Amino acid sequence: MSSSDLDPVRVALVGAFVVALLAAALVGPSGAASSSGAAADASATPTVRVANAELAANGTATADVVLTEAPEGLAGFALDVRVAGDAARISNASYPDTFGLTTDPAIGDDGRRVTVEAADLRERVQPGASDVVLATVELSGVAPGAANLSVEPRQFDADGGAAVEPATDAGTVTVRDPEADGGSSASTADARASAPADTSVPLLTPAVGGALVAGSVALLAVFALVRRRV
């Protein structure tokens, strides 16, 4: 067999080998991440989380109350949100358009507590839903300082009527001194809720780098073989 007959065959084989390596490197990591992600979703514990809030002593801010996971959907809920200390008070609360039936927020304890209740009559919260906003609490700054913003689930029902006992994750209200802010009453929402998620993808993973090195070595070997046969 002449070198002109040998070169195309070997080059084609090596090219296929390199492509296979690159495909395995690219598909393998994403497949593993998908599998682990599914496992994490299956084992996730529903948690009612209150966002942090920051405001001036003469300002207002809002904090979302979020259900992190609804593996069996959500038929309805009732909960209390409480603010401790004297730095802030709860002035109001509202619901998203998700829920078809809601009750008027009931504020008690001189603005230290609010009770919210809602039902998902339109079945907007389907099984497997995540990061479901249940309500938004409006806070008013009273005095500089920090206060705990806790949540107490009173009743949570999944689709079908099964009771759900979610965990809780409290937030923090930070009230700034308006004089330190130059008299500004501007407020900022929780960075944890508003900051965009990091969706960047690495351009070169270790697996891809290894595949490129292996492909380069294989191509060099073919070129060396061809040079010997010429």
DSSP structural state of residue 163: B
- Specify whether 83 is located in the same domain as 182: yes
Task: Tell me if residue 2 falls in helix, strand or coil.
Answer: coil
In a shared domain, residues 170 and 225: no
**Is there a single domain that holds both residue 80 and residue 142?**
yes
Same domain, 95 and 169: yes
pLDDT at res. 215: 52
> Would you state the pLDDT for residue 22?
42
Let me know whether 56 and 166 are in one domain: yes
Please write the tens of the pLDDT for every residue from 146-188: 999 999 999 999 999 999 999 999 999 999 998 776 654 444 4
Residue span of the structural domain in which 218 resides: 3-42+201-229
Structure tokens at 42: 């299956």
Q: Is the pLDDT of residue 208 over 70?
A: no
Do 89 and 15 lie in a common domain?
no
Tell me, yes or no, whether 76 and 168 share the same domain: yes
d(CA 156, CA 79): 8
Token pair 């919260």 in the structure block, residue:
125
Question: Any idea what DSSP says for residue 223?
Answer: H
- Quote the tokens at residue 113: 């507590």
Mean pLDDT is lowest, of 14-18, 26-30, 41-45, for 26-30
We report the CATH number of the domain holding residue 182 as: 2.60.40.680
CA–CA gap between residue 89 and residue 82 (Å, rounded)? 9
- Residue 131: what pLDDT? 98
- State the pTM of this model: 0.63
pLDDT, tens only, 80-130 = 999 999 999 999 999 999 999 999 999 999 999 999 999 999 999 999 999
Residues 59 and 37 in one domain: no
Q: List Cβ neighbours of 180 (8 Å cut-off, separation of 6 or more).
A: none
Total domain count, the chain: 2
CA distances from 42 to 45, 46, 61, 76, 220 (A): 9, 11, 34, 22, 47
The rounded distance, in Å, linking the Cα atoms of 70 and 166 is: 10
44-58, 109-123, 182-196: segment of lowest average pLDDT: 182-196
Q: Is residue 113 located within the same domain as residue 156?
A: yes
End-to-end CA distance of the chain: 12
92 and 167 part of one domain: yes
* The pLDDT value given to residue 196: 47
Task: Please report the pLDDT score of residue 74 as a whole number.
Answer: 98
61 and 115 both lie in a single domain: yes
What integer best gives the mean pLDDT of the chain? 76
